[in-house]
Every structure is written in C-alpha cells, then in structure tokens.
Amino acid sequence: MHEVDYKKMEQAVTMILEAIGEDPSREGLLDTPKRVAKMYAEVFEGLHEDPKQYFETVFHENHNEVVLVKDIPFHSMCEHHLVPFVGHAHIAYIPRDGVVAGLSKLARAVETTARRPQLQERITSTVADAMMDMLNPIGVYVIIEAEHMCMTMRGIRKPGAKTMTTVARGVYEQDDIKRSEILSMIKM
C-alpha cells in the first residue's frame, strides 16, 4: 500500500496560496493546507486499488437475463485540472451461466475507479473491462453521465452541461436492440 505524503501536500498547498497572493498565515487559512492534504488523501484513496477485486466473489444463480444497477452516484477529480466532476453511473450486464456479482460490487467498482485523478472515459471503460475479465458475462454496458467543474467554473463556464460516455462489451457491441433495452430501462 502506498503511503500518502501529507507534509509534501501541505507544503504544496502553502506554495499555491502564496503564489496566488494569499497569506497562508492569516486566521482563515492557517489549517487549510492540512485540510486540503486530508481531503486529497480521501478523494484519491482508490489510486492504488483494483476494481477487479470486487468481482472475485460471485454467486451462481439461475439468472441469465439483464442485471441493471442505475443511478450510482459518484464523484471524481479531473486529471487535467484537479477539480471535481460528479454524476451517475448505470451498469448493465447479462450473466453467463448464472454467474452474478453482488449488486453493491458494481457501485464499489465505480467508486474505487473514480477515486483517483481521472477521466470520465477511463472510468467507463475500466469498470466494463473489470467486469468482462472477472465475470465473463455475455455482455456489459456502462453509461456514465457527469457534470465537470472544469467546464462549469472555468474556461467555457457552462454550468449544467453534462457529458455522457458509454462502453459496450460483448453482445452489447453489436446488438442495437439490447442496447436500446438498457437505455429504456434507465429512463424508467
């Protein structure tokens, strides 16, 4: 396990405050470097974790139809600007030979993958690939929609704009009808 260097982060935050013309010794900012270091350690705690771990334990059920967990809330940090993006993930898969994962494991895979400097596109594909590798399902379809603070707070400044990414694996890559089925289930 990787140790977080809190001292180094505190020094970096102090330097940023000084660089923007702030006084890090003023009352309101005295403990800010410590708070930011603690927050970054928490926000990036998935950096050295593998989402595949959540699919090591499986159950054998007589179920070979769609499993969908939708509206999984998550937050991550854009690796380009280190500002948050927040949204929801929707994950569908069709088990092969009745091999299913615990439902909470899908949400845990999203959370672990999101808790690192990240791109939305990478979260989408990492979760889908982990499920394909570990569960060997007939297909996986992952949809993520999020609002990126790098578009809201800076640059174009368009609050409310959402980015959607999808990844289709297995049967969902070729079957338009099966993909449409998932999209209609998400809208329910």
User: CA of 59: how far to CAs of 53, 99, 129, 130, in Å?
Assistant: 15, 6, 19, 17
Active-site hit among 10, 78, 90, 111: 78
- Reading the block at residue 116, the tokens are 């690192």
Residue 118, class by beta-carbon neighbours within 10 Å (0-12 exposed, 13-18 middle, 19+ buried)?
A: buried
Active-site hit among 79, 121, 173, 174: 79
Q: How far apart are CA 32 and CA 39, in angstroms?
A: 10
Active-site hit among 80, 121, 173, 174: 80
Percent of the chain as helix, strand, coil, to the nearest 5: 45, 25, 30
Cβ atoms within 10 A of the Cβ of 58, count?
16
User: CA of 122: how far to CAs of 118, 158, 167, in Å?
Assistant: 7, 23, 10
Active-site hit among 22, 81, 88, 145: 81
Q: Mark whether 79 is an active-site residue.
A: yes
Q: Mark whether 81 is an active-site residue.
A: yes
The residues pairing with 175 across neighbouring beta strands, listed in sequence order, are none
Q: Mark whether 150 is an active-site residue.
A: yes
Using an 8 Å Cβ cutoff, are 74 and 90 in contact? no
Q: Mark whether 90 is an active-site residue.
A: no
Q: Mark whether 80 is an active-site residue.
A: yes
Q: Mark whether 174 is an active-site residue.
A: no
Catalytic site residues?
78-81, 120, 148, 150
